Chains A and B, each alone.
Chain A
Amino acid sequence: MTWAVVARKDFQDARLSKALWTLTALFVLMSAGMAYLYATVPELSGDGVTTTGLLFMLGAPATLFIAIASIVVAVTSIAGERDSGSAKLLLGLPHSRRDVVVGKLVGRSAVLAVAILVGLAVTLGVLSMVYGSISLVDYVAFTGLTLLLALAYVGIMVGISALAGTSGRAMAVGLGAFVALEFLADLVPLGAAFVRNGFSMQGLTTMSPGIEFLGVVTPTAAYQHAIGWFLGNLPAAGPTPFYLTGWMSLLLLGAWLVVPLAIGYRHLRAADL
């Protein structure tokens, strides 16, 4: 098992990516800026500033940053090495292809985690200046969930990278996955409700639990649902089925991490470089 060696090499390499640090700077600006505005502009916080409201607010720039940064950091991680020929150095050394996939996941996730921690630490600093009474426990939990989302997204991108033979194709598939998961997926529950309602929008006010579930499947939706479940005070109208709990969201994030990686690895294992 030499994945740790691969991960360390990758961390050394990817942390020097200028694109990543440009993105991180943008994330810090957005995140800290939004926190500042939320805490100081009453119209934004509506019925009072709360930690939960704040964290929901911060979730938006975080998810966008993670989705884009994971593409920058990870989508060419394996395909790019195959493209350029550095894979011949990497796999000429005694690393199994599984070590390569796991090492890439860990190394690139670590780079993204550093960026996220920097961003959220700066944001916390801003918050403590303009808004004193934030719950540190909630903020740490929020950070943990955000890191989990990052891990899942890097897993998706590394999996795509293992699957695609060239970095061009990996980039195209990665961008496609980004659009599908961040934008198109929102249409699925709406479409399903539309179909169930007899191809009509009339009288469509409440969603059935099944359709509600469709709305929290993607990594970002699962992440936001988990924030609401664990940190918010979602009004519980009767018993919630398990598949709509925050625990299910964690499971889903785990699945987003594992399944694309496994598919990518199976393909890479059998591939000619």
Chain B
Amino acid sequence: MDAIELAGVTKQYGDVTALDDVSLSVEKGEIFGFLGPNGAGKSTTIDILLDFVRPTDGTATVLGLDAQRDSLAVRERVGILPDGYHLYDRLTARQHVAFAIDSKGTDEDPLALLERVGIADAADRKAGGFSKGMKQRLVLAMALVGDPEILILDEPSTGLDPNGAREMRDIIRAERDRGATVFFSSHILEQVEAVCDRVGILRDGKLVAVDTIDALRDALGTDVRFTVGVGTVTDDIVDAVSAVDGVSSVQSDGDDTLSVLCLDDAKITVLHAIETAGGTIIDFETDETSLEEMFAAYTSDPSTDQMADGEPVLHSGDREVVGA
């Protein structure tokens, strides 16, 4: 049984399709990153998992329970940090956590949970005066009540400083290590890259890819940027490298470094060509396709569009390809 399973989930608001036939499985015990630009449908998906909204078509299952019919049972076993929430301004942090504890019928200590998210010193202050980062921590504390089997976090690092974001990641990992499944959405790639086992990429309501970050990078990255320190850049060297099959551009970067954009498997030939042309390889470095580029390609590039909509390009092995 998967932690989360979506089967053909579609959500329409009048003429607008927020989600279009999304199918997805999140395994128990993994950290799953749900990526996409704002408005792609991430929050709608989460809203359906919690029965805030009802799908127009398809079914969502959480821990084997129907997310709509058995929503109460689902919410007993899930901790949620929603997007666009609002706290009860007149209630203190402690009262908020106590409310979550009472709601879930556990007997935890509110202060211990506030301690864990780093705002124990503000326990008796009213939430109305909290900064965005403190609010985010407070809602995380509420989500952690009752050691939920699944944590659903919608843009959890919103409003957190780098330190806060790191603490958030630590808590996410600790929860995974405890055995929880973590499903979190983000449009901030570093967050996802740092912590996720697998990611799904959502664009315009469609799931365009699901895989590990490494595999997605491999599948997408045709050209790599490749920087070679060659001592002295000469025209001969540039010409020789340009002539190599698979090289799409060569630039001199200062007078001792070449920057080459080429297919991954052309790298050795490039190095060889440089030596043949009289250059000396001092060092070289490959820049991986940045997640940012990958993300952009999946979410906006028309050629990726084709890739995702047409024949599977992300194929082979255990990779899962989601086309429209």
Chains A and B form a bound pair: yes
Offer 17 A-B interface pairs, CB within 8 angstroms, sorted by A. A8-B102, A9-B102, A13-B91, A84-B86, A85-B82, A85-B86, A88-B50, A88-B84, A89-B82, A89-B86, A91-B50, A91-B51, A91-B75, A93-B75, A93-B103, A94-B75, A272-B47
A16 to B90 alpha-carbon distance, docked (Å): 7
CA A94 – CA B80 in complex, angstroms?
11
Interface residues of B (CB under 8 A from A): 47, 50-54, 72-73, 75-76, 78, 80, 82, 84-88, 90-91, 95, 99-100, 102-104, 139, 142
**A273 with B103: CB separation less than 8 A:** no
Contacts of B88 in A (CB 8 A): 9, 13, 86
Q: How far is the CB of B80 from chain A (nearest CB, A)?
A: 4
Q: Which residues of A contact B78 (CB under 8 A)?
A: 92
Cβ A273 vs Cβ B90 within 8 A: no
For A2-17 the 0/1 string (1 means CB < 8 A from B) is: 1001001100110011
Given the complex of chains A and B, what is the CA–CA distance between A93 and B73 in angstroms?
A: 10
A86 adjacent to B85 (CB under 8 Å): yes
In the complex, what residues of A have CB within 8 A of residue B90's CB? Answer: 12-13, 16-17
User: Chain B residues near A94 (CB, 8 Å)?
Assistant: 72-73, 75-76, 103-104
Cα–Cα, bound, A81→B72 (Å): 19
- In the bound complex, residues from chain B placing their C-beta under 8 Å from that of A93 are 75, 99-100, 103-104, 142
- In the assembled complex, which residues on chain A have CB atoms less than 8 Å from the CB atom of B53? 272-273
Q: Is the CB of A89 within 8 A of B87?
A: yes
A267 within 8 A of B: no
Contacts of B76 in A (CB 8 A): 94
In the bound complex, how far is the Cα of B103 from the Cα of A17, in angstroms?
Answer: 23
What residue of chain B has the Cβ atom nearest to residue A93's Cβ? Answer: B103
Tell me how far the C-beta of A155 lies from the nearest C-beta in chain B, rounded to whole angstroms: 22
The reply to whether A88 and B85 contact each other, CB–CB distance below 8 Å, is yes
Contact B52 A85 (CB under 8 A): no
CB distance from A272 to the nearest CB of B (A): 4
Complex CA distance for A138 and B52, rounded to whole angstroms: 48
Chain A nearest Cβ from B95, distance in angstroms: 6
Known: A9-B99, A84-B86, A85-B86. A92 touches B50 (CB 8 A): yes
CB distance from A180 to the nearest CB of B (A): 31
Closest to B92 in A: A12
Contact A89 B47 (CB under 8 A): no
Would you list the 5 A-B pairs with minimal beta carbon distance, nearest first? Answer: A84-B86, A92-B80, A93-B103, A272-B53, A88-B82
From known contacts A91-B52, A272-B53, infer whether A86 and B104 are also in contact, taking CB-CB under 8 Å. no
Complex-state Cα separation, A12 to B89, whole angstroms: 11
Contact A86 B87, CB 8 Å, known A12-B95, A92-B80, A272-B52? yes
| Docked complex Cα distance between A262 and B72 (Å) | 20
Residue ID in chain B nearest A272 by CB atoms = B53
In the bound assembly, the distance between CA atoms of A149 and B294 in angstroms comes to 63
Min CB distance B39 to A, Å, is 17
Is A96 at the interface (CB under 8 A from chain B)? yes
Contact assessment for A2 and B103 in the assembled complex, using a CB-CB cutoff below 8 Å: yes
CB atoms of B99 and A5 under 8 A apart: yes
Residues on B with C-beta less than 8 A from A95 are 72, 75, 103
Once bound together, how far apart are the Cα atoms of A52 and B88, in whole Å? 43
Excluding A13-B90, A89-B85, A94-B76, 15 further A-B contacts by CB distance (< 8 Å) are: A8-B102, A9-B88, A12-B90, A13-B88, A16-B90, A17-B90, A81-B86, A85-B82, A86-B86, A87-B52, A89-B139, A93-B104, A94-B75, A95-B103, A272-B53
Interfacial chain B residues near A13, Cβ < 8 Å: 88, 90-91
Measured CB to CB, the nearest residue on chain B to A2 is: B103
Q: How far is the CA of A30 from the CA of B190 in the complex (A)?
A: 62
Which of A53-102 touch B at CB < 8 Å? Answer: 81, 84-89, 91-96
Question: What residue in chain B is nearest A80 (Cβ atoms)?
Answer: B86
